[in-house]
Amino acid sequence: MNLNLSGEIALVTGASRGIGQGVAVALGKAGAEIIGTATTSVGAKGITQNFKKQGICGEGVVLNIADSDATQAALERLGTKKPSILVNNAGITQDNLLVRMKDEEWDKVINTNLSGVYRLSKACLRAMMKARYGRIITISSIIGMTGNAGQSNYAAAKAGVIAFSKSLAKEVGSRGITVNVIAPGFIDTQMTHVLSEQQRTAILEHIPLGHIGEVDDVASAVVFLASKTASYITGETLHINGGMYMP
């Protein structure tokens, strides 16, 4: 099994905390140079410092994936550094029942979680096609498969990235580029810290493995899909949820 990513450049969106931070570190430890993104310069500096501390080659950059111009500009600033691995990790929630949902809540989640994946994938694709090699891995969610009351915007975006990835996998397979999705269940990050004790207990009842997942459960799967070992896997969605949902 070859999980060595030396010589590769990986762009990880939302690397300032949570799953993205863990993914960035894991890819870096596997030998890749990492460009990790945050929405603020403080966040970007924190990423660079964390990489230094962990002995990882790479840096943090500022990027708002909800903004087309900013995405283009950020990619241009990378100059000759063309990512061979893209991890579309950044995502947000703006929960509300549909009857109460504001247009801004719908638009913000779709624009970040779905259109952001479109933007970044498109921006990185040309260089990957030229190199006839690439890995695009997008973090969806169990909610994109099951739906969830109060999360119609988030569920629509997370289901959307699965269909998007299957389509793109068909478009670029002949160029040696694989496009895959990871759909985590509940993972211990800031995003799930908002859950009440009652909600946590209710969730745990539905997880056969009996506990909430760790960032590393997702990060190690990203390293695998980014590696040469996963060369024949494309258009796939990997469910990492402790058995909570089995398609």
Binding stretches for ligand NAP (CB under 6 A): 13-14, 16-20, 37-40, 43, 63-66, 89-92, 112, 139, 141, 184, 186-187, 189-192
137 - beta bridge partners?
Answer: 87, 180
For 135, phi then psi, to 5°, come to -135, 120
From residue 104, give the alpha-carbon distance in Å to each of 14, 50, 160, 167, 223.
21, 34, 19, 28, 35
Is 64 or 234 the residue whose CB approaches ligand NAP more closely?
64
CB of 91 to ligand NAP, least distance (A): 2
**Cβ 222 to ligand NAP, closest distance in Å?**
11
Measured between its terminal Cα atoms, the distance across the chain in Å is 27
Q: In whole angstroms, what is the distance from residue 183 CA to residue 240 CA?
A: 6
CA distance 48 to 43: 9
Q: Nearer Cβ to ligand NAP, position 7 or 247?
A: 247
**65, burial (CB in 10 Å: exposed 0-12, middle 13-18, buried 19+):** buried
| Residue 211, both tokens | 């506990």
How many angstroms separate the CA atoms of 24 and 21, rounded? 5
Q: Which C-beta is closer to ligand NAP: that of 14 or that of 28?
A: 14
Q: Known catalytic residue: 154?
A: yes
Cβ proximity to ligand NAP, 50 vs 234, nearer residue = 50
Q: How far is the CB of 108 from ligand NAP (least distance, A)?
A: 9
Q: Which residue has the tokens 């230094």?
A: 52
Nearer to ligand NAP, 16 or 234 (CB): 16
Rounded to the nearest whole angstrom, what is the least distance from the CB of residue 6 to ligand NAP in the complex? Answer: 26
- To ligand NAP, the closest distance from the beta carbon of 188 in angstroms equals 7
- Active-site residue, from 118, 154, 232, 245: 154
Structural contact between residues 241 and 185, judged by C-beta atoms closer than 8 angstroms: yes
To 5 degrees, how large is the angle CA 232–CA 123–CA 31? Answer: 55
Please give the positions annotated as active site.
Answer: 154
